[in-house]
C-alpha cells in the first residue's frame, strides 16, 4: 500500500501488514522517515478514514474478498503513568474509540490496536500485528493555538 493522504489533519498514512510486536512496529514506522510514527487518531473522521484504509488493505485482489480480520497497532500506549494513555507522536488525547469494556488494563496490557470494527483494545505489547503508520504535516501545538486565536 502506498501512502494515503487525509486532508483534514494534513496527514499521510501507510499500513505495514507484516506482523510485529509493538516495539518492532514502532521501529518499522520510524524507518519510513524521521517524523513517521505509529498513528495517532485525533477525531472520529480521521479514525473512520484509517479504518477504511485497514479494510481496503485486507481485501484479496484476486477474489475481492477480505482475507483476515486482523487488528493493527496504533500509536497509543500506557507506558509512563499507569492508566493514562498517550500518543507516541506527542498529540494530546482528544479522542478515543475504545471497544466495549476497554481499556481493560489487564496484566501487561499497555499497547493499543485498532480492531477491524474500528474500535480500540489495549493488549500485550508482545503480540504481533500489522501497523498503521502516520506522517503528520501539522503540529498539534500550532493547530491548537491557531484554533484558540480564532475563538
36-50, 82-96, 133-147: which has the minimum mean pLDDT? 133-147
Cell numbers at 145, concatenated = 493555538
Q: Using the CB atoms, write b or e for 117-143: b if 16+ within 10 Å.
A: ebbbbbbebeeebbbbbbbbeeebeee
Predicted confidence (pLDDT) per residue in 36-62, tens digit: 999 999 999 999 999 999 988 887 777
Domain ranges (residues) in the chain: 4-150
Q: What is the pLDDT of residue 59?
A: 79
More confident residue, 133 or 84: 133
Architecture of domain 4-150: Roll (3.10)
Task: Report whether 130 contacts 70 (CB < 8 A).
Answer: yes
pTM, full prediction: 0.85
Amino acid at each position: 500500500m502506498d501512502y494515503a493522504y487525509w486532508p483534514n489533519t494534513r496527514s499521510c498514512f501507510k499500513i505495514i501488514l507484516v506482523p510485529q510486536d509493538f516495539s518492532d512496529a514502532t521501529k518499522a514506522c520510524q524507518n519510513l522517515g524521521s517524523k513517521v510514527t505509529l498513528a495517532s487518531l485525533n477525531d472520529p473522521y480521521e479514525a473512520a478514514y484509517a479504518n477504511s484504509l485497514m479494510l481496503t488493505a485486507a481485501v484479496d485482489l484476486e477474489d475481492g474478498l477480505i482475507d483476515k480480520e486482523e487488528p493493527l497497532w496504533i500509536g497509543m500506549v500506557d507506558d509512563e503513568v499507569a492508566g493514562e494513555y498517550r500518543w507516541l507522536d506527542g498529540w494530546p488525547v482528544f479522542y478515543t474509540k475504545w471497544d466495549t469494556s476497554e481499556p481493560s488494563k489487564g496484566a501487561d496490557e499497555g499497547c493499543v490496536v485498532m480492531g477491524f470494527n474500528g474500535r480500540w483494545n489495549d493488549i500485550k505489547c508482545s503480540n504481533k500485528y500489522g501497523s498503521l503508520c502516520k506522517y503528520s504535516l501539522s503540529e498539534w501545538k500550532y493547530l491548537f493555538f491557531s484554533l484558540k486565536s480564532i475563538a
